Amino acid sequence: MIEIVKINLDNEMDLILAHKRTMKLCELCGLSVANQTTFATAVSEIARCAINIGDRSHLILSINTFKINKKEIVAIIYDKVNLGENPEALAYAKRLMGDMKSVKYNDYYEIRLSHIINFSGTISETKIQGFKDYFKNEPPISPYDEIRKKNIQLIDISNKLMESEKQYQMLSDTLPLMMFVINNQGEITYSNKWLTDFFPLQKVGSSGISFQSMFHTDDFKSLSIKWEKSQTERSIFRAEGRLRGREDKYVWHLITIVPSKSEKDVVANWIGFFVDIHSQKLVEAALKDNDGLKVIQEELRSNQSLLEAKLGELKISNHNLEQFAFIASHDLQEPLRKIKTFANLLEDDIKLTEPQTRYFNKIRNSADRMSSLISNILDYSRLNKQSSSFLRTDLNQIMQNILVDYELLIEEKNATIKVSNLPTLNVIPSQILQLFSNLLHNSLKFSERIPEIEISSQELSVKEASQVDGLVNGKKYIQIKFKDNGIGFSKDYSEKIFAIFQRLREIETPGTGIGLALCKKIVENHNGVIKAESVHGRGSEFNIYIPDNNPASITKE
């Protein structure tokens, strides 16, 4: 270690000298200005401490060679007083140069600071001798010159700081986020252009940041609770919220406020950022909505399968009911058949008195009535069966068959029946036969005068069909009309007569109350509508509307 220069540390002038010489030696050794300043400042800090509280303090600057050709600048402050006992004094030096200790050798406490010299190969023995000579011949120090020099340096540094701040401002203004600094009092001490552009001016200023005015009312409460927590814990605040901008426009932002800690671990400032995440939020919300949609869809699907299951159950139950009606009707016919048969056998076997004959007729008539009631129920239950198929059928043919069936009754009633030309349609023949048969039978049955019955048909255009209640729009229909001059019925009953077991006549009139219900069902099986009109005592008119385009069933061969 080669000693370059020794400085006694007695007064303020010595401090300036210590600083100046340390700077100079650093400069001679080729250290950067920043490093010169750092090292010299650290040395001066300890020197100041030594001047203030030390005894016989002095500083020796040396150059030390360690390893091969590795050199360092070494500054040792010697003092009778242990400066290390006053750590407060050394804190600043430590922050600049790292940890250092006060160690006692002989009578003096030594504090050693060192700085490595880069490219120390160029620092030869001769050069070091030159450094020594430099300090020997150095002119005495002038306080005025030194102060002036320092001033110039300070102005220079302040200019550089301003430049740097300007660059920082530019940078922060360029970044697409709002930046600000707030102090512990909540006052904004710095903000970039984005922030002032976003908020109405009066809301940002030294008057402080008001969460209530900045955020959406819905977000404010949770945010302020979180912010208070961050302040007490001195931890990073992170949240998402809607900022209220100009014209009360709300925009989603990511909010980050980071505590800025000083060297003493004290929070003096908070640095905040607002990042616009509005579009992400919208996408997020859309995705969430989509999830909602999926949930609804799922519910819908499960409801549907539930419905299908119920429908299946209903079908089975309907089928069972049909089955029951069929079997019940069938089995009920059996005892009736026997009642009639035995009644007939008995009548044949014995000679009956007048009242006995009447009673026998009563028995037979009741049995017949019961029998037709049952067979009508049977017919009705059979109508539900899907086995019936649509065939292209000439309705005139069906009508002819019915007229043959009713030949006797027609003759008996002396009825006139006019049948105009009927169409050929896709129908379930057996059902249409039953329908026409029931209607004709009703007309013959419910008459007080000589029956006059008219059966006619016409095609209805789409427009004409649209004027009939209950028909499907946009379809052509065939209208078939049964008109008679019978007893008719009151207008109030024009719907009711089609309900099952609905009887308008007193019990003496024959009829089971199923006939017209059967008719309605048959027409419905043909996708049609049946309507009844009547003037009481003047006759009735039944109109059947059947689409002209029911498809024919595919028949198996």
Partner 1 sequence: MEDTIKILLADDDEDDRFFFELALSELKRNVKLDSVVNGEKLMHYLNGAGDKLPDVLFLDINMPKKNGAECLKEIKAIDSLKDIPVIIHSTALSDLMTESLYDNGAIYYIHKKEPKKLKKCIDHILNLVANEGLSQPAKNDFILCVKE
Q: Catalog residues that contact partner 1 under the rule CB under 8 A.
A: 326, 330, 333-334, 337-338, 340-341, 344-345, 382, 387
**Measured between alpha carbons, how far is 358 from 326 in angstroms, rounded to an integer?**
33
Amino acid at 166: K
Shortest reach from residue 444's CB to partner 1, in Å: 23
- 475 burial via Cβ count (<10 Å: 0-12, 13-18, 19+): middle
**Residues 257 and 270 sit within 8 Å (Cβ to Cβ):** yes
**Pseudo-torsion of CA 424, 430, 433, 435, nearest 10°?**
-110
Residue written as token pair 């505590």: 259
Per the structure block, which two tokens stand in for 453? 């019955």
Shortest reach from residue 288's CB to partner 1, in Å: 58
Closer by beta carbon to partner 1, 331 or else 459? 331
**Residues 74 and 63 sit within 8 Å (Cβ to Cβ):** yes
Closer by beta carbon to partner 1, 485 or else 512? 512
DSSP string over 396-462:
HHHHHHHHHHTHHHHHHHT-EEEEPPPPEEEE-HHHHHHHHHHHHHHHHHS-SS--EEEEEEEEE-H
User: Which DSSP category does 138 fall into?
Assistant: P
Closer by beta carbon to partner 1, 155 or else 327? 327
Shortest reach from residue 338's CB to partner 1, in Å: 5
For every residue of 258-269, which 3-state class applies, written as one string?
A: EEEECCCCCEEE
Amino acid at 195: L
Distance of alpha carbon 373 from the chain centroid: 61
Closer by beta carbon to partner 1, 376 or else 457? 376
Per the structure block, which two tokens stand in for 112? 């050693």
Shortest reach from residue 333's CB to partner 1, in Å: 6
Shortest reach from residue 341's CB to partner 1, in Å: 4
Closer by beta carbon to partner 1, 281 or else 340? 340
Shortest reach from residue 556's CB to partner 1, in Å: 13
- 407 burial via Cβ count (<10 Å: 0-12, 13-18, 19+): exposed
Closer by beta carbon to partner 1, 44 or else 381? 381
**Measured between alpha carbons, how far is 174 from 456 in angstroms, rounded to an integer?**
91
Closer by beta carbon to partner 1, 2 or else 343? 343
Closer by beta carbon to partner 1, 88 or else 334? 334
**Measured between alpha carbons, how far is 2 from 25 in angstroms, rounded to an integer?**
13
Closer by beta carbon to partner 1, 250 or else 326? 326
Shortest reach from residue 428's CB to partner 1, in Å: 13
- 520 burial via Cβ count (<10 Å: 0-12, 13-18, 19+): buried
Shortest reach from residue 321's CB to partner 1, in Å: 16
Shortest reach from residue 302's CB to partner 1, in Å: 38
